[in-house]
Chain A
Amino acid sequence: GAVVSQHPSRVICKSGTSVKIECRSLDFQATTMFWYRQFPKQSLMLMATSNEGSKATYEQGVEKDKFLINHASLTLSTLTVTSAHPEDSSFYICSALRHSGKGNEQFFGPGTRLTVL
C-alpha cells in the first residue's frame, strides 16, 4: 500500500503554545487529506478535510481558528493546534486519499501523540 508519514510522532508542550503536525504522502500525490483525532479507547473522529490549494472543510464542532490546516502542496498537509490546552491532548492521525479506478483508497499516517501540560 501507499505510504503516509507524520511528524512528529510524539510531542509534549506547555499550555498556551502552538504545535504543528506534518502529514506527507510519500509515494503518491494527494489533493485531499483528512485529519482525525482519537481519545483513549474511542474511535477516530474526523476533524477536517484538507484540500490542496483551497480552504479546509471542518466538521461540526471543530474550531477552525484553533486547528489551522494548510495543504500547500500535493504531498503535504499541516495541522497547527494553536494555544494548546490540556484538553487538546490526544492522538492526531492524518490520512491521504489516493484516486483509483476501483473506488478511492485512503491511507493513514502513524499518528502523532500530543500531550499538553
Chain B
Amino acid sequence: DAKTTQPPSMDCAEGRAANLPCNHSTISGNEYVYWYRQIHSQGPQYIIHGLKNNETNEMASLIITEDRKSSTLILPHATLRDTAVYYCIAGNYGGATNKLIFGTGTLLAVQP
C-alpha cells in the first residue's frame, strides 16, 4: 500500500468547512483513497473513498488531484461531534495487499 502523509492536528470553527489534506505521492493506479475517522475509544467509521473522480456523500466530499498524488476531505459544516482522528489510507482490495494500513492520522478539533 502507498504511504500517506497527513498533518498531525488541525483546528476548525464550528459551522465552518473543515478541509483535511492528505499526500499519497506513491499511490499506484489501482489503489483507492479511503477516509475513516475514529472518535475516542470507538471503532473507526467509514467516511468516503474514491479512485480518481471527486466523490460526495451525506458525510463529506473527497477531492482527488488530477495526478492522484494528493486529496482533500471536506466536511462542509463541521460540528463539535466531528472532533476525531481522521485517517487517509491508500489501498486496493483484491490486489497484492488485501488490507488497509493505518497511519497516524489528523486530529481534527472543532472549536465552538
Chain A contacts to B: CB under 8 angstroms: 1, 4, 6, 32, 34, 36, 43-46, 49, 91, 93, 95, 97, 99, 102-111, 113
User: A43-B102, A105-B46 provided; 14 other pairs, C-beta below 8 A?
Assistant: A43-B105, A44-B44, A44-B102, A45-B102, A49-B99, A95-B44, A99-B93, A102-B49, A103-B32, A103-B50, A107-B46, A108-B44, A110-B42, A111-B43
Q: Is B51 within 8 A of A103, CB to CB?
A: yes
Q: Is A111 within 8 A of B102, CB to CB?
A: no
Cβ-closest chain A residue relative to B85: A43
Q: Which residues of chain A are within 8 angstroms of B43 by Cβ–Cβ distance?
A: 4, 6, 93, 95, 108-111
Q: Is A105 within 8 A of B49, CB to CB?
A: yes
Question: How many residue pairs at the A-B interface have CB separations less than 8 Å?
Answer: 60
Central interface residue in B50, B87, B92, B99, by most chain A CB within 10 Å = B99
Q: How far is the CA of A106 from the CA of B45 in the complex (A)?
A: 9
B94 in contact (CB, < 8 A): yes
Q: Which residues of chain B are within 8 angstroms of A44 by Cβ–Cβ distance?
A: 38, 44, 102
Tell me the chain B residues, 64-111 only, with Cβ under 8 Å from chain A. 87, 92-94, 98-105
Q: Which residues of chain B are within 8 angstroms of A109 by Cβ–Cβ distance?
A: 43
Q: How far is the CA of A63 from the CA of B41 in the complex (A)?
A: 25
Q: Which residues of chain B are within 8 angstroms of A32 by Cβ–Cβ distance?
A: 93, 98
Q: Which residues of chain A are within 8 angstroms of B38 by Cβ–Cβ distance?
A: 44
Q: How far is the CA of A43 from the CA of B8 in the complex (A)?
A: 12
Q: Which residues of chain A are within 8 angstroms of B51 by Cβ–Cβ distance?
A: 102-103
